[in-house]
A and B are shown apart, each in its own frame.
Chain A
Amino acid sequence: AQKVTQAQTEISVVEKEDVTLDCVYETRDTTYYLFWYKQPPSGELVFLIRRNSFDEQNEISGRYSWNFQKSTSSFNFTITASQVVDSAVYFCALSLWSSASKIIFGSGTRLSIRP
């Protein structure tokens, strides 16, 4: 069975601080996707990134960066110089190659950025 664990339920930091959201996943499959989604108060899930299990390269997109390590089954997300607009619930998720639309979500981390 697949599982995604986000141990941090809530994080609160002051604006401009860096913050890392942790994600640990479990699967016996060798081919899978990993995701991060952002959910603002409006409710819509906003796609941030998708990585496949063959691509362990870290990725940077502006203030966002992702660290994928298969050895520790982790896919952590770092926001550099956080801003108030980054406040949201962030979900890490996993899907198998064979049923890629069936996404298993973690429980989410509520991130609050204080001005």
Chain B
Amino acid sequence: KAGVTQTPRYLIKTRGQQVTLSCSPISGHRSVSWYQQTPGQGLQFLFEYFSETQRNKGNFPGRFSGRQFSNSRSEMNVSTLELGDSALYLCASSFRIQAENTGELFFGEGSRLTVL
């Protein structure tokens, strides 16, 4: 069973640019969550999508957005990049039957973004 796949694994951008990260969940998983990991702030929840709808959102500015497609694949976008956006962005998928509750989260290896 293939795991959670995130692309690209590494990328370098400059301030002001935008970036799109992709996440393919485990087959059959309908819930995808995104987390940001930085040395200073640690692991922080960005948002979760289930059945193409955002279900939960963390405390991040509107520059951070996401979406989910009908095949459960998800993308997150960061616009007007700032130096502080440099981080490891982790995607996690879970098997979720209904809107409430969720199962175990399976994480991908992350996309490491460097903003210069």
List A residues at the B interface (Cβ < 8 Å).
37, 42-47, 50, 91, 93, 97-108
Check A44 against B110 for contact (C-beta < 8 Å): yes
Taking A101-B92, A102-B45, A103-B43 as known contacts, 4 extra A-B pairs with beta carbons closer than 8 A to each other, sorted by chain A number, are A43-B90, A44-B110, A47-B104, A101-B56
Give 17 pairs: A residue, B residue, CB < 8 Å, sorted on A: A43-B109, A43-B110, A43-B112, A45-B107, A47-B106, A50-B104, A101-B31, A101-B33, A101-B55, A101-B56, A101-B92, A102-B48, A103-B43, A104-B45, A105-B42, A105-B44, A108-B43
Collect the chain B residues with CB atoms within 8 Å of residue A91's CB. Answer: 43
B102 near A101: Cβ-Cβ < 8 Å? yes
Find chain B residues with CB under 8 A from A93 CB. 43
CA distance A12 to B94 in the complex (A): 33
Q: What residues of chain B lie closer than 8 Å to A44, measured between beta carbons?
A: 107-110
User: CB-nearest residue of chain A relative to B50?
Assistant: A101
A99, A103, A107: the one within 8 Å of B105 (CB):
A103
Closest to B107 in A: A45
B109 and A101 contact, CB distance less than 8 A: no
**Given known contacts A43-B112, A91-B43, is B101 in contact with A100 (CB within 8 Å)?**
yes
What residue in chain A is nearest B57 (Cβ atoms)? A102
Which range contains the number of B residues in contact with the other chain?
20 to 34
User: Which B residues are CB-close (under 8 A) to A102?
Assistant: 33, 45, 48, 56, 58
Residues 67 to 116 of chain B near chain A (Cβ within 8 Å): 88, 90, 92, 94, 96, 100-102, 104-110, 112
The answer to whether A105 and B55 have CB atoms under 8 Å apart is: no
CA distance A91 to B43 in the complex (A): 9
Smallest beta-carbon distance A103→chain B, Å: 6
Least Cβ distance of A35 to chain B in Å? 8
A43, B104: Cβ atoms closer than 8 Å: no
Q: Cβ of A101 and Cβ of B94 under 8 Å apart?
A: yes
Selected contact of B42 from candidates A98, A100, A101, A108, CB within 8 Å: A108
Enumerate chain B residues within 8 angstroms of A47, measured Cβ to Cβ.
104-107
Q: Which 7 A-B pairs have the closest CB atoms?
A: A45-B107, A105-B43, A100-B102, A44-B109, A101-B102, A43-B110, A101-B48
Contact (Cβ within 8 A) B42 A45: no
